[in-house]
Amino acid sequence: MSETTLNDIPQLRRGFRFQWEPAQNCHVLLYPEGMVKLNDSAAAILGQVDGDRSIAAIVAALRERFPESDGIEEDVLEFLEVARERSWIELH
Amino acid sequence: MSAPGSSCTEPGPPLWLLAELTYRCPLQCPYCSNPLDFARHGAELSTAEWIEVFRQARELGAAQLGFSGGEPLVRQDLSELIGAARGLGYYTNLITSGIGLSEARIAEFATAGLDHIQVSFQAADAELNDLLAGSGKAFARKLAMARAVKAQGYPMVLNFVTHRHNIDAIERIIELCLELEADYIELATCQFYGWAELNRAGLLPTRAQLERAERITNQWREKLAAQGHPCKLIFVTPDYYEERPKACMGGWASLFLDIAPDGTALPCHNARMLPVQFPNVREHSLRHIWYDSFGFNRFRGDDWLPEPCRSCDEKGRDFGGCRCQAFLLTGDAEATDPVCAKSAHHGLILDARRQAEEAPLGLERLVHRNARTSEIICRSRSE
Ligand code: SF4
Ligand code: SF4
């Protein structure tokens, strides 16, 4: 499998839905007969995935939102790689 | 709210809602998990009553909603129910045999907001499938509908309940599912409740059959992973070949809420058989049912556990196993699940394994699930 690069455009696979769940006080990813709770950073990243924006654009948006954090690019690449391995997203 | 079995910690919300819309079904699977006496159950909830159930459960925190049965497609209001559920924010799953589905309905459900469809098969070839289903053209229909589900872009789970008569074709089953472009393949060995328990001697596979099926499934998992194939294989073993019981439903009334066709609320779709009074949504709010009702608190936590579980250091992992299985096999709903090697009744499990080796029943001896047989069972039990 090829490396994930900044030019790739991630998109949630059909059947996966990202939403806020007040009862669990967190964002979740819903899919056929399953659900994962997302931590804050995973939710911040997935919240930017819209099938339009490239990974570079997502990194830029998150840098703007969290100017104090370092290593955003590494975190985003690493998380999206895991998300792809788990077949939550596909890259275009 | 300290009904028996409650521990001091407040239970979390029910994250899963299973709506058993009806017990009606055009098929007659001999392993059906519906109650044996389904033909005598009360009137189904109306459209408005179901939507109110969805609303209350969503308020409590449920996020996944399964439409099941019986065959949920026999409900003519299914589109409306899907639309209402999706509007409330649920992830909506249709769990169907495929009989009663059409391309037009698949499209109508997509418009209503249905997220996913699970189609169940009885076997990977027409002859055995239709024999098990007790219906002549079921297999061809299922194939056509599985293709239509994918053609319309849904994610699809294909579910095969496996048992001694179809498990040896596991490779063919997996190949068929891949041909049909399933996103998930569920190979679920029969669990012995309802009609499956009645037919256990004709369904339980041998250990060798099971091990072979698991080995082949694992080989396919590796193969798919190596190809980067997104399809996932899920293999559910029958706990009859384990020495420790399963943590049934992740703990009694801790995640899962089932509503039977007549509105009876249950912590699991088999629990109806237990000698426990369960509340009905026609009489109580779901909040009361989930947090305060006697039935839902009956086996929560571990205070109620008898020996050998009480002093066992594994009780936090399996909570003493499945209450329904304990009750079915021992007649005592509080007993340790006999699957556990520490249970005084574990011999019952060993007997069943021996029977699978030495004296199984043939295909022709399976009792098919249908309303007529259900009536006969009711009658013989009330005599
Ligand atoms: S298991 Fe078979 S008979 Fe029972 S509800 Fe499902 S399709 Fe119908
Ligand atoms: S004795 Fe009870 S708690 Fe211990 S492993 Fe067996 S079923 Fe689980």
Residues of chain A contacting residue B93, judged by C-beta atoms under 8 Å apart? 32-33
Mean pLDDT of B134-161: 92
Distance CA(B186)–CA(B223), nearest Å, equals: 17
Domain A10-91 architecture: Orthogonal Bundle (1.10)
Residues of chain B contacting residue A87, judged by C-beta atoms under 8 Å apart? 230, 232
Distance CA(B82)–CA(B75), nearest Å, equals: 11
Q: Is the pLDDT of residue A4 over 90?
A: no
Ligand 1, residue B195: give the atom nearest the CA. 4
Q: Which of A14, A16, A30 to mutate to test the interface with B (most CBs of B within 10 A)?
A: A30
Which residues have CB under 6 Å of ligand 1?
A: B 25, 27-29, 32, 34, 69-71, 97, 369
Whole-number Å distance, alpha carbon B340 to ligand 2 midpoint, is 6
Whole-number Å distance, alpha carbon B13 to ligand 2 midpoint, is 26
Kindly report the protein residue whose alpha carbon is nearest to atom 1 of ligand 2.
B309
**Among A9-23, B239-253, B279-293, B367-381, whose mean pLDDT is lowest?**
B367-381
Tokens of B303: 């205070």
Q: Is B245 in the pocket of ligand 2 (CB under 6 A)?
A: yes
CB contact under 8 A, A15 and B115: yes
pLDDT of residue B4: 44
Where do the domains of chain B lie, and which CATH numbers do they carry? 11-382 (3.20.20.70)
- Are B99 and B71 contacting, i.e. CB atoms less than 8 angstroms apart? yes
- The crossing angle, in degrees rounded to 10, of helices A72-85 and A55-65 is 130
pLDDT of residue B63: 97
Q: How confident is the model at residue B9 (pLDDT cuts 50, 70, 90)?
A: low
Whole-number Å distance, alpha carbon B52 to ligand 1 midpoint, is 26
Q: Quote ipTM for the complex.
A: 0.90
Mean pLDDT of B366-373: 84
Ranges of beta strands (E only) in chain B are 16-20, 64-68, 91-96, 116-121, 156-162, 184-189, 232-236, 256-259, 265-266
DSSP-derived letter for residue B122 is S
- What is the separation of C-alpha B91 from the centre of its chain, rounded to a whole number of angstroms? 18
Whole-number Å distance, alpha carbon B183 to ligand 1 midpoint, is 22
Q: Is the pLDDT of residue B255 over 60?
A: yes
User: Model confidence over A33-57: pLDDT tens digits?
Assistant: 889 999 999 999 999 999 999 999 9
Of all residues in chain A, the one with the smallest CA distance to B110 is A15
User: Model confidence over A13-38: pLDDT tens digits?
Assistant: 989 999 999 999 999 999 998 899 99
Whole-number Å distance, alpha carbon B342 to ligand 2 midpoint, is 7
What is the least distance, in Å, from the CA of B381 to any CA of chain A? 36
Ligand 1, residue B25: give the atom nearest the CA. 8
Contacts 24+ apart (CB under 8 A), B82-87: B82/B109, B82/B112, B82/B113, B82/B114, B83/B112, B83/B113, B84/B51, B84/B54, B85/B54, B85/B113, B86/B112, B86/B113, B86/B114, B86/B115, B87/B113
Residues of chain B contacting residue A14, judged by C-beta atoms under 8 Å apart? 153-155
**Among B107-111, B284-288, B369-373, whose mean pLDDT is lowest?**
B369-373
List the beta bridge partners of residue B160.
B121, B187
Q: Is the pLDDT of residue B139 over 60?
A: yes
Q: Is the pLDDT of residue B229 over 60?
A: yes
Mean pLDDT of B249-255: 89
Q: How confident is the model at residue B193 (pLDDT cuts 50, 70, 90)?
A: confident
What is the least distance, in Å, from the CA of B308 to any CA of chain A? 34
Q: How confident is the model at residue A12 (pLDDT cuts 50, 70, 90)?
A: very high
- Are B118 and B156 contacting, i.e. CB atoms less than 8 angstroms apart? yes
Q: How confident is the model at residue B7 (pLDDT cuts 50, 70, 90)?
A: very low
From the list A13, A30, A32, which residue is nearest B184 (CB)?
A: A32
Ligand 2, residue B337: give the atom nearest the CA. 7
Torsion of the alpha carbons at A23, A27, A29 and A34, rounded to the nearest 10: -30
- What is the separation of C-alpha B151 from the centre of its chain, rounded to a whole number of angstroms? 27
**Nearest ligand to the C-alpha of residue B310?**
2
| Residues 6+ away with beta carbon under 8 Å from A18 | A12, A27, A28, A29, A30, A38, A43, A46, A47, A49
Domain ranges for chain A: 10-91
| Residues 6+ away with beta carbon under 8 Å from A72 | A59, A62, A63, A66
CB contact under 8 A, B61 and A14: no
**Nearest ligand to the C-alpha of residue B335?**
2
Ligand 1, residue B70: give the atom nearest the CA. 5
pLDDT of residue B382: 65
